[in-house]
A and B are shown apart, each in its own frame.
Chain A
Amino acid sequence: SQTIHQWPATLVQPVGSPLSLECTVEGTSNPNLYWYRQAAGRGLQLLFYSVGIGQISSEVPQNLSASRPQDRQFILSSKKLLLSDSGFYLCAWSGARGRGIYEQYFGPGTRLTVT
């Protein structure tokens, strides 16, 4: 079965510091991968998605970036955090196009607090 991991689970960072959040998926190959942010316990905002290694699409212009160095690894980064970057960051995966599986499954999330 498929499993999705995120780390760290919680993170407290000062304004202006860098960020790196990691997501990995097990038990599947060539998944679509997604980064969402959730503020105030509601509202899932899609930040980035990827359909393959090195292929990143950005949904919202901001000081965040994403990379996919390996098939089942998705990284969310920032060079300098802002207070407004605080939130609950969720990674999700779905089956690749053409395989008939499009449900998105979410990881456990990372709670980021920027101070």
Chain B
Amino acid sequence: GENVEQHPSTLSVQEGDSAVIKCTYSDSASNYFPWYKQELGKGPQLIIDIRSNVGEKKDQRIAVTLNKTAKHFSLHITETQPEDSAVYFCAASPLGSARQLTFGSGTQLTVLP
């Protein structure tokens, strides 16, 4: 089955700096890679995703890059703000699968004012 590793487990940055979270996956059949943001006591919120036919996707201050050859993908947050503080999860799945969203273990991002 798929295995997703996520690093780092905790990340502290100064407000305005950039944050990068990295994930690796094991199953070459995976071709859908979403990222979720989870605030304390709430359900995870889908913030951006990328499919394997695209190498990079950007949405305002967040971007995701994918390297299928190396089987890794990354989340980039620029100009971080205190409200970006949360736990971020990456996941991987074969498109068309009913179930196989395999999640990373999460990164606690803290943006220091």
- A-side interface residues toward B, CB under 8 Å? 32, 34, 41-44, 46, 49, 51, 57, 59, 90, 92, 94, 97, 102-109, 111
Contact = CB atoms under 8 A, between A and B. Distances in A.
A102 B103 contact: no
B96 A102 contact: yes
Contacts of B89: 44
Contacts, number: 51
A56 to B, nearest CB: 11
A102 to B, nearest CB: 6
Contact of B43 (A42, A57, A59, A90): A90
Interface string B49-75: 100000000000000000000000000
Contacts of A32: 98-99
A105 B87 contact: no
A112 B45 CA distance: 20
B45 A106 contact: yes
Interface of B: 32, 34, 36, 40-46, 49, 87, 89, 93, 95-99, 101, 103, 105-106
A106 B105 contact: no
Given A41-B87, A44-B44, A107-B43, A97 B98 contact: yes
Nearest to A43: B105
Q: In the complex, which of the residues A90, A92, A103, A104 has the most CB atoms of chain B within 10 Å of its own CB atom? A: A104
A109 B36 CA distance: 15
B99 A49 contact: yes
A102 B93 contact: yes
Contacts of B99: 32, 34, 46, 49, 57, 59
Nearest to B107: A42
Contacts of B93: 102
B106 A106 contact: no
B43 A106 contact: yes
Given A42-B106, A44-B89, A104 B101 contact: yes
A43 to B, nearest CB: 6
